[in-house]
Structure 1
């Protein structure tokens, strides 16, 4: 007891020295980590300043939110035999169905992400949950062997309960079911859907649980992928979470979105992304059924050449950013972009401006109001820079449009879970489909046009008339855009 009292007394006398020594030690360690692993000079300087001038708190904030890379054991330990069919260090497959001016982009794309382009796929747009959810649940109900589902948000509402029931019924009839939910995204719903599934015997896992002591420093790294694969016969990818708000016709706070039903050999690439994520989260290897040619669902369009591109703050870092830059270089007539959050970095913005300077029509549709006000302020601060060199941006009048598509010319499209912001391109695990097909592009162009017709163009006069206090607010928040 006496020793304890002496210890407390010593701390009371030297507490200032202890804090100073602790601050210096932690600051040096944090600053060295910034210097070694941060690539952006301005971001590095900002972090070092925060670490030095905010004793202890700055370092804590950096280790919680500043780390944007992890090393995943999945790439090292996952059996390579599962990758051999579509991961190839050699030159890409020859594709004869695309214009000659895209051939160099195919070679560059394969160097960016050495996954083969595969033909004979169908990629069918499903607008809003009113179209997507019934198709997804029907596929789950028809499953015979295996279901894998990954989602950022899986609300345990009336719509989420339909998925819980369908997945549980599949499990009861002997189908293997694996459900992977993001460790932070699961918190959007008060009632946790994974708990409901576990009670019914369905196997679930959380990706980087936020409350885990071993992964708390990665709290800013989220699995934003939305994947549903059934039996190797059909898959669904896109930007749509599982929530009744996506059932636009009946939702109180509707969210517009677009999802995609996929059949064809590219399903193997999609399911493999899930398998790697599942192994990372659980340490468990799964062998999802491979696509078999004679199981293609009869559709009107099986002409899509496609491949899955995964991106994340790991070995796949920057693959989607480079894929976008590569495609923008090839644009000859038009670039159409829909995204809920448009805060591109300087490299992507320069690529868009370069396309516009070549005479390419560059049009971007964003929500008039998103679900994150300070992101709207940052986008508004960037409007004057965006519309330079002929780039056009439109604000959608819908309550909130979460759709994510990129359509270039009449041949190339990019669909999936990725937004045009630092959060998505730097910190999130994402999956997109890179597609070559004129019919698909025609559908997506028509979808884009319908959104554009319900939008208002951003003009220089509107920007100039913005009150000074809003301009100050917007530009203040713009300073934090690398972290949003």
Structure 2
């Protein structure tokens, strides 16, 4: 009797999942893979689908962004730039996806590695007059966290508001003791989709991977660097983590503040009004001449905005496109764009870390090397520590820096944010930095890669199978 009951429940659930896949599947190949998993792996296949496979972009299970936009005050965007020039298509694309136009009056400071980045961050935080907003995927306890705690207490006593969001899984190690200390001194702090058994299957796979700090609505930071001592001291396995961050003084900082405000509403259902004083101050600084556009994306959006932005930048490249990213696991569209550009004569170069923080991810990354090398793409392995930067620079004209990796997880499942900079001097600075790191890195040749061992080929084959889930 009990066996028949459980069998009936199993068949009912399986049938419901199959209907969902047929109606909402993102890609035929992926839908077929999930159908095979459900039919061949009893129970396990269904659990994996519920955890990793649902098309949230289609279903909008929580409709998070729609609710946030409805309840937040609509932002004002001073100094709106004209959508023209060679990147007009990209500007329009980002504006329609993320609602942020390209804006002038921004001063940019490129921050390489942890020491330089945190020096600039703490300097900006010390000068806060009204409020401090922080949003991090990884916020780990240590010297940096303790230093922030003391600074927050001092600034709150001066009348500065401090709000903080941390990802519920990425910052899972954050202790209740530290969080209580933050709340005791007056920091408003909330987790993003924390681990809860009741919604475990619906939320575990969707993380907020953004790294944002905004001070008074006029100074902001974003990039690849999390709050972790490993950016200063390294770790035992990988050594120093190398990364790139960006400081924005100006109007674009207010756009990052709006991204924070949307996420703030998602975690606590409360609104944060834009700081007009900060935006006015920024727009009046005529020495800030950089044109910047913020692109944000998440699984609630109608389209994968970061993937479409990367795709467009690659397709627009005429002379060169240099990419630095630790997780280059491209989907079919991005891979075809890269290979098409290289075969068509564009100098396409990709730099990844020679060391890895995850073996299966590393196998997945390397599983695409043979095809890309055959197309003429140059691939470099950075040898020192762990390379974590997320940068694209092209044609001495455009660059993007932010939190999004070149993989399906960043495009389809994570909440991400990047800054696109339309500026020749900034692009040349990043190109120069790339070429400097390339001289220290190992260039892989196609012939050399063909000679890798059978074991390595099998590992890469296994990694490619799992790449859509990583």
Deviates more, 1:132-141 or 1:73-82: 73-82
Query: What is the match of residue 63 of structure 2?
Result: 72
Structure 1 partner of 2:24:
37
Tell me if structure 1 keeps the 8 A contact 2:295–2:419.
yes
Match for residue 243 of structure 1 among 213, 228, 232 = 228
**Match for residue 94 of structure 1?**
82
- Report how far residue 316 of structure 1 moved: 5.3
Q: What CA distance in whole angstroms lies between the structure 2 residues aligned with 1:112 and 1:182?
A: 23
Number of aligned residues: 463
Q: TM-score, normalised by structure 1?
A: 0.90
Q: 1:414 matched to which residue of 2?
A: 400
1:338 aligns with 2:329: no
Counterpart in 1 of 2:361?
375
Residue matched to 1:454 = 440
CA distance in 1, matches of 2:412, 2:177: 27
Alpha-carbon separation, structure 2, partners of 1:156 and 1:352: 39
The SS at the match of 1:266 is: helix
| Structure 1, unaligned runs of 5 or more | 1-13
Q: Deviations over 1:301-342 (max 9, x none)?
A: 722111111111012540111111112221111101000111
Q: Which residue of 1 aligns with 2:183?
A: 198
Change (3 A) 1:111 1:292: closer
Are 2:110 and 1:125 equivalent residues in the alignment?
yes
Please tell me whether the aligned partners of residues 344 and 421 of structure 1 are also in contact (alpha carbons under 8 angstroms). Answer: yes
CA distance in 1, matches of 2:75, 2:187: 30
Q: CA deviation at 1:61?
A: 2.3
Distance 1:275 1:114, change over 3 A: closer
User: Which structure has the larger Rg over C-alpha atoms?
Assistant: 1
Deviation per residue, 1:110-144 (Å, 9 max, x gap): 44444211011112111111001121112112211
Answer whether contact 2:320 2:395 (CA < 8 A) is retained.
yes
SS of the equivalent of 2:401 reads: strand
Deviation at 1:172, TM superposition (A): 2.6
Q: Match for 1:85 among 76, 81, 100?
A: 76
Per-residue CA deviation, residues 45-68 of structure 1 (Å, 9 max, x unaligned), is 111222233333322222122235
Distance change in 2, residues 1:183/1:243 (3 Å): same
CA distance in 1, matches of 2:177, 2:285: 37
- The answer for the alignment partner of 1:432 in structure 2 is 418
Of residues 46-55 and 18-27 in structure 1, the stretch that sits farther from structure 2 once superposed is 46-55
Closer, same or farther: CA 259–227 of 1 in aligned 2, 3 Å:
same
Q: Deviations over 1:145-179 (max 9, x none)?
A: 11110000011111221122212322232211110
Q: Give CA deviations for 1:421-469 in whole Å, capped at 9, x if unaligned.
A: 1111111000001110111112211221122111111112332221112
Choose 437-446 or 425-434, whichever is displaced more. Answer: 437-446
More displaced stretch, 269-278 vs 156-165: 156-165
What is the CA-CA distance between 1:79 and the residue it aligns to? 5.0
2:312 match: 326
CA RMSD in angstroms, aligned pairs only: 2.4
Q: Under a length normalisation based on structure 2, what TM-score does the superposition of the two structures give?
A: 0.92
Aligned to 2:138: 153
Shift of 1:356: 1.4
| Matched residue, 1:223 | 208
Cα distance change of structure 1 residues 366 and 324 upon mapping to structure 2, 3 Å threshold:
same
TM-superposed deviation, 1:388: 2.4
In structure 1, distance between residues paired with 2:270 and 2:91: 34
CA contact (8 A) 2:103 2:291 kept: yes
| Residue 479 of structure 1: how far off its partner (Å) | 0.6
Q: Distance in 1 between matches of 2:132 and 2:444?
A: 44
Structure 1, residues 347-384: CA drift from partner, whole Å, max 9, x if none?
Answer: 00111112112211100000012211111111222110
Check the 8 A contact 2:392/2:399 in 1, yes or no. yes
1:113/1:144 CA distance change after superposition, 3 Å: closer
Q: 1:356 aligned to 2:342?
A: yes
